[in-house]
Homo-oligomer: A and B are copies of this chain.
């Protein structure tokens, strides 16, 4: 596989992951369409295994890995959905998953990793401690690192969500995804480029974690410094692999306020009757804040995940 996943890589990922993940439904609401004066189709990765699109990339990465590389298991640092998804994928292939998690990770997420048999090492809640602890874990275990987004097999896996969306509900004017580290967005942009090239790709990002927006428009990598957003899946910086794909294949990145994210999240819960995490609501927030020409357009939105603490809702 070359660095930038090809059409063939994505087709191959689709086949590899098929027995292990859901082909998630695409849902729409006439009520919401009426309210917003456009046609919205939500690709529901919140209904994916382990509650997020991350299961796609993790399964593809683990199941395409050479036997020799994987014999000592896989490892990553993550406080979120990638941790559970990688643990699940490793369990499916019968290998170990070593997960470095910040000690203040939510109980729900720690529980999910344990449920899938992940071997947790706790660290301090900062990037330096995460990376240092992961280095130690890799040294002790000889496991292979599976980065949450800066990895071509991960990107190919995430790309399958947009591919399915195009196949199932076709001919979109626009497809939207949220952007954090850029794994989902770069996969989405590649899938659209290969399988629906007339469709425009627009990413949405919290104003308070706008590294992708800044990097995209300043045309140089700008890291995420002190991101402060409720969209906890979008606090990470772009990667050296995801950034150039995004620069080349994404048409626009727009930013949204925290208030709009919460409003969009509640609107999806109310009208679509599905549980989405704040990160998933960021594209709809861009519509609510009128950040691009959406009226009368047919728009596909990738709902990234649904892992939230029901005892701690933002309204």
Contact = CB atoms under 8 A, between A and B. Distances in A.
Contact of A273 (B115, B270, B275, B313): B275
| Size class of the A contact interface (CB-based, 8 Å) | 20 to 34
Contacts of A217: none
Number of copies: 2
Interface stretch (A43-51, A68-76, A140-148, A242-250): A43-51
B306 A315 contact: no
A292 interface: no
Given A25-B25, A274-B275, A275-B275, A310 B31 contact: no
A228 interface: no
Contact of A269 (B272, B275, B315): B275
Interface string A1-42: 000000000000000000000000101001100000000000
A266 interface: yes
A311 interface: yes
Contacts of A313: 310, 313
B30 A310 contact: no
A33 to B, nearest CB: 12
Q: Max chain B CB contacts within 10 Å: which of A25, A313, A315?
A: A25
Contact of A311 (B31, B115, B276, B315): B315
Given A47-B27, A49-B30, A273 B306 contact: yes
Nearest to A27: B47
Given A25-B25, A273-B276, A273-B306, 7 more contacts: A47-B273, A47-B274, A266-B310, A269-B310, A270-B310, A310-B315, A313-B313
